[in-house]
Structure 1
Amino acid sequence: MQRIGMVVTLASLIVVGVGTPSVFAENWPQWRGAANDGISDEKGLPTEWSETKNIAWKLKMPGMGASTPAIWGDSLFVTSIAPDLTLSLICVGTDGKERWTRELGKGSGKVARSDEGNEASPSPSTDGKAVYVFVGSGDLAAFDFEGKKLWAVNLQKMYGKFDIQFGMHSTPVLYENHLYLQLIHSNGAWVIALDKSSGKEVWKVKRESDGRAECEHSYASPVLWKRGDSAYLITHGNDYAIAHDLKDGHEIWRVGDLNLKSKYNPTLRFVASPLATSDLIIVPSAKNGPVVAVKPNAKGLVMRGSEHQQWRLDSGTPDVPSPVISKGLVYLARENGGLICLDAASGEQYYAERTHNARHRANPLVADGKIYLVARDGLTTVVKEGRSFEVLSKNQLKDQIAASPAVHNGRIYLRGYDYLYAISEGGK
């Protein structure tokens, strides 16, 4: 299920002089990486591994979780839910040793579809000074790197009880001095900005929609669009993707025709989040529905045929994994293991191929000319970037994985339901 979207203002790349000179020690401060786009600039990442090959270490987790690790320096942060339903934030060193665990709250035990995401699905984020973490119980807290609690609030107490079939899985966006959240469910639809230093509300706006039934439930995460000094927030769910001004949350544009009124699907809940790059925004929907490429300078209502629409596909959306763009190509990783490659400028399809016949919940990672696709059964398919489809390797771990991969200092980190894995060439 969903894990998170955020962008930080601190530098996220530092060159290291130890080990392989071509490898960058890249902080991974949030779900989908520093730019929230699923792209890593690191080189020399492993393309092959197993339970006995290229594993630097693996650490037993206290319980199930689907959150992507946030990584800064030598600290990793990940969430988990224990058998007694305690929701926790865990700090792990890059040496594979647990440093501390802090309780966040108590879960309800709700698990999506019995074995999917749970209340430990939203991902932590960090600005290098504090780590911010939200879980499905509504508990939101900030800790310093030593584990000291800086503040804590409960969003269900502040904004109403969550009424959502599979639980709240949305990850906040961390940007400059604020945390931005979307809470989209049947008991309310709010877009909220909180002060990151205190957790106090800066603004909130009601997110208007004519959606109904299960469409009121969004499992997607908000994302940030940024170009130079310009930025806005994009929320996703209840039949629309909507851009909001960061100062007060007012609406800039919304993408419609994602759930056609003429043949309305009352079960079209959104799980996959949009992808926002400086030049193009890719808006997914659900259940093999449309995909829309939006120009960042859009205004008002963006419907089929709008001048603010770069292109639109009537079908083929990923239902859970979010899109990624690299080197002028859009990759759509379908929930069934299918991979679609499109031209970013025109939407022209270059291929649609099946990688692995299993459920895929994690978002794709693109690094060093390769696409990493992680399946729920623990198998990662590595595909070569480009207009032609080529599988480079398939790598099996004996775990269930719904979390998106993270990258740091030549390693790929995978959060399984049972273990946290550090994977590197030679197991270094």
Structure 2
Amino acid sequence: MKNVFLLLAFSLSIQAGDWPRWRGASGDGVWNPEKVPADFAAQQPQELWQADIGGGYGGVTVSDGRVYVLDRPKEPADIERILCYAAEGGKHLWSHQWPAVYGRMEYGTGPRSSVTVHEGRAYVLGAAGMAMCLEAASGKVVWQVDTVKDHGAIVPTWGFAASPVLDEKRVLLHVGAQPDGSVIALDQATGKPVWQGGPDPAGYSTPEIITHEGTRQIIAWGPEHIQSLNPETGATLWTYPYKITYGVSIAQPLYRDGILLVSGYWHGTKALRPDAQPTLLWENEKDMCGLMSSPLYKDGTVYLLDKKTGLQAIELATGKILWSDDNTLTPKDRNPQMSLVWLRESVGLAALLNASGELVYVRLKPDGFEELARHQIIGKTWAHPAFVGNRIYARSDTSLVAWRLWPD
């Protein structure tokens, strides 16, 4: 009975409003607002406010009426910042900056990760390796750790991109510390090291905690392996080889129905059963290649953005491709991108922010998709937006915007 009440409370917290971390409260792209319009085509979004910001690919997070985003201004040079705005009205509340020399970092526009907010504190990982904890209301620094200098982390080609993940009293950072520190765990209160583990260098995928047959595992997808770590100690539970061209392990793995699905741009998709000795259930190296966009799941079907054909529906158990959208929901591109969120998961309603900055409402089913409406809300973007109630908060390399999507 206790577990039932906990599950109910967790579900209500998701619907209540905040988007406090990468991909929302539950970390899996679920929005589920209390009220949803009957006719999306009849709704005209209203822009509420806009703020000028610097460059970056990191997503937006919202907690307790405050909006958080990381950026890199053009002046002064060689710094990163965390910016905080009032969700209502867009007033700039506070900011904090720190040194961040990118050097030859590819796509060096700005930070890649999202701020994680929990119990009045904001946790940050910059593209060059600076990690910190700040008071969420004021921006006062609680602790700051340079993972490169202090832990031997090695900055990958495109900079650190994984958002901080909180687990009990630990904050997990995917930074490729040396030796055997693909993930490091720091004490949330002090920033002091708790453990480090995993054989791979840093990839770009945010770690994910799953429970498979009663065993909790950290899934940390690196450029050479799919890794499973013990959340308490960092010990390696298992690894599965998956060496990736240019090390682009980016999209978040998906775990459902006892199956772990991982999809990459160069070498396609693998579906594993994540036992102590993992078993490959199926793979598709050519026709099912994700990149940055993390997939959605419902009732045995995965919705994944493929680099060639656009959004696909895939039968998780078998790997059968059910349909593709032929690049209609986001523009065909060498590096296609689209953030996918369940608007009303129970009936297959999704909200997609594509690379052109268009918000697209769509109904996703195993036998096809139906586009309901689309609206231009921002310029070109690869960053994940935040959805809170009937509002969206999105960013580009120049702007942070807030829109009311339907009447209060």
Tell me which interval the TM-score lies in, with the shorter structure as reference length.
0.7 to 0.9
Provide the C-alpha distance between the structure 2 equivalents of 1:320 and 1:186, rounded to a whole number of angstroms: 26
1:149-192 CA distance string (max 9 Å, x none): 21111111112363422222222211221111222389985321
SS of residue in 2 equivalent to 1:391: strand
Correspondence for 2:133: 142
Correspondence for 1:88: 81
Give the C-alpha shift of residue 139 in structure 1: 1.4
Higher relative contact order (CA 8 A, sep 6+): 1
Give the residue type in structure 2 aligned to 1:191.
V
Give the C-alpha shift of residue 244 in structure 1: 0.2
Confirm or deny that 1:273 pairs with 2:266.
no
Does the 8 Å contact 2:72/2:80 carry over to 1? yes
Give the C-alpha shift of residue 331 in structure 1: 0.8
Give the C-alpha shift of residue 127 in structure 1: 1.5
Compared with structure 1, are the counterparts of its residues 137 and 32 closer, same or farther at alpha carbon in structure 2 (3 Å cutoff)? same
Confirm or deny that 1:164 pairs with 2:164.
no
Match runs of 1:115-154 below 5 Å: 118-147=109-138, 148-154=140-146
Provide the C-alpha distance between the structure 2 equivalents of 1:150 and 1:202, rounded to a whole number of angstroms: 17
SS of residue in 2 equivalent to 1:284: strand
Of 332, 349, 356 in structure 1, the residue corresponding to residue 321 of structure 2 is 349
Compared with structure 1, are the counterparts of its residues 337 and 314 closer, same or farther at alpha carbon in structure 2 (3 Å cutoff)? closer
Of 16, 20, 25 in structure 2, the residue corresponding to residue 29 of structure 1 is 20
Give the C-alpha shift of residue 68 in structure 1: 1.6
Give the C-alpha shift of residue 198 in structure 1: 0.7
Provide the C-alpha distance between the structure 2 equivalents of 1:89 and 1:45, rounded to a whole number of angstroms: 32
Correspondence for 2:4: none
Correspondence for 2:272: 294
1:243-293 CA distance string (max 9 Å, x none): 10012111112222x34xxxxx74353222212347432212222x23122
Give the residue type in structure 1 aligned to 2:383.
A
SS of residue in 1 equivalent to 2:226: strand
Correspondence for 2:354: 375
Give the C-alpha shift of residue 31 in structure 1: 0.5
| Number of equivalent positions | 390
Provide the C-alpha distance between the structure 1 equivalents of 2:398 and 2:8, rounded to a whole number of angstroms: 32
Compared with structure 1, are the counterparts of its residues 56 and 394 closer, same or farther at alpha carbon in structure 2 (3 Å cutoff)? closer
Give the residue type in structure 2 aligned to 1:381.
V
Which deviates more from structure 2 when the two are superposed, residues 407-416 or residues 330-339? 330-339
Provide the C-alpha distance between the structure 1 equivalents of 2:180 and 2:227, rounded to a whole number of angstroms: 16
Does the 8 Å contact 2:51/2:401 carry over to 1? no
Correspondence for 1:224: 209
Does the 8 Å contact 2:339/2:354 carry over to 1? no
Provide the C-alpha distance between the structure 2 equivalents of 1:110 and 1:361, rounded to a whole number of angstroms: 26
Of 237, 240, 251 in structure 1, the residue corresponding to residue 222 of structure 2 is 237
TM-score by length of 2: 0.84
Give the C-alpha shift of residue 337 in structure 1: 7.0
Confirm or deny that 1:419 pairs with 2:393.
no
Confirm or deny that 1:192 pairs with 2:164.
no
Compared with structure 1, are the counterparts of its residues 278 and 132 closer, same or farther at alpha carbon in structure 2 (3 Å cutoff)? farther
SS of residue in 1 equivalent to 2:265: coil
Does the 8 Å contact 2:73/2:80 carry over to 1? yes
Give the C-alpha shift of residue 226 in structure 1: 3.6
Does the 8 Å contact 2:23/2:384 carry over to 1? yes
Does the 8 Å contact 2:340/2:353 carry over to 1? yes
Correspondence for 2:387: 407
Give the C-alpha shift of residue 228 in structure 1: 9.7
Match runs of 1:38-117 below 5 Å: 38-44=29-35, 53-83=44-74, 84-85=76-77, 86-109=79-102, 114=107
Correspondence for 1:19: none
CA RMSD in angstroms comes to 3.2
Compared with structure 1, are the counterparts of its residues 366 and 136 closer, same or farther at alpha carbon in structure 2 (3 Å cutoff)? same
Give the residue type in structure 2 aligned to 1:125.
T
Provide the C-alpha distance between the structure 2 equivalents of 1:10 and 1:145, rounded to a whole number of angstroms: 27
Compared with structure 1, are the counterparts of its residues 56 and 42 closer, same or farther at alpha carbon in structure 2 (3 Å cutoff)? same
Provide the C-alpha distance between the structure 1 equivalents of 2:97 and 2:177, rounded to a whole number of angstroms: 22
Provide the C-alpha distance between the structure 2 equivalents of 1:111 and 1:408, rounded to a whole number of angstroms: 37
Does the 8 Å contact 1:55/1:421 carry over to 2? no
Does the 8 Å contact 1:184/1:238 carry over to 2? no
Does the 8 Å contact 1:119/1:167 carry over to 2? no
Provide the C-alpha distance between the structure 2 equivalents of 1:78 and 1:396, rounded to a whole number of angstroms: 21
Give the C-alpha shift of residue 199 in structure 1: 0.6
Match runs of 1:318-337 below 5 Å: 318-335=290-307
Compared with structure 1, are the counterparts of its residues 181 and 10 closer, same or farther at alpha carbon in structure 2 (3 Å cutoff)? farther
Over the matched positions of the two proteins, sequence identity in percent amounts to 21
SS of residue in 1 equivalent to 2:401: strand
Confirm or deny that 1:393 pairs with 2:373.
yes
Give the residue type in structure 2 aligned to 1:340.
Q
Compared with structure 1, are the counterparts of its residues 362 and 155 closer, same or farther at alpha carbon in structure 2 (3 Å cutoff)? farther
Does the 8 Å contact 1:336/1:357 carry over to 2? no
Provide the C-alpha distance between the structure 2 equivalents of 1:186 and 1:396, rounded to a whole number of angstroms: 44
